[in-house]
Amino acid sequence: MDKVKNKVHNQNILNIVSISGLLLFLVWIPAATSCNFQICFTLNRRADTSQRVIFNTFVRVFQTIGRTLCIPLAWVIFFFQGWRLDIILQFEILLLIGGLVVEMIPQFIDDYQGWRKINGRATASIIVDNQTDDKK
């Protein structure tokens, strides 16, 4: 019986799922802030109260709730209980978290670039000298 306990305690505590949980935590920080900014932007900039705008706002709210509550919960579970999974399930969790991260990063980049455009910090240059004159 002592050999079984020692074998369980000697397993890697920081395995693939635990590291994936840490990656999930690192993605959670920009995900939560990005969703909060999206909701504020949607509510402040939209004077239109059509069904489409209201539906998009509700989708953003549910997305924010999911990202701010479910991602940290999954991180805690994976980090502290991931060592109990066998190798195949650990690899599956790694693939799922990797897919989630790959799907979320382009949205962060688009949100950041949109925020820069809104605040006037975009580096777009408009060349005035080469434009044709309106007067003929």
Domain for residue 130, yes or no?
A: no
39 against 121, higher pLDDT: 39
| Domains: count for the chain | 1
Per-residue pLDDT tens for 66-105? Answer: 888 888 898 888 888 887 888 888 888 888 888 888 888 8
Domain for residue 53, yes or no?
A: yes
Domain for residue 128, yes or no?
A: no
Contact (Cβ atoms closer than 8 angstroms) between residue 93 and residue 17: yes
Which residue reads 């395995």 in tokens?
15
Domain for residue 20, yes or no?
A: yes
Domain for residue 129, yes or no?
A: no
Domain for residue 132, yes or no?
A: no
pTM of the model as a whole: 0.60
Range of the domain at 103: 7-118
| Cα atoms in the 13 Å half-sphere on the side-chain side of 74 | 21
Domain for residue 94, yes or no?
A: yes
Per-residue pLDDT tens for 21-37? Answer: 888 888 888 888 887 77
Strands (DSSP E) along the chain, which ranges? none
Which residue reads 């004077």 in tokens?
47
Q: How many CB atoms lie within 10 A of CB 80?
A: 12
Domain for residue 1, yes or no?
A: no
Task: Give 39's DSSP letter.
Answer: H
Share of the chain above pLDDT 90, in %: 0
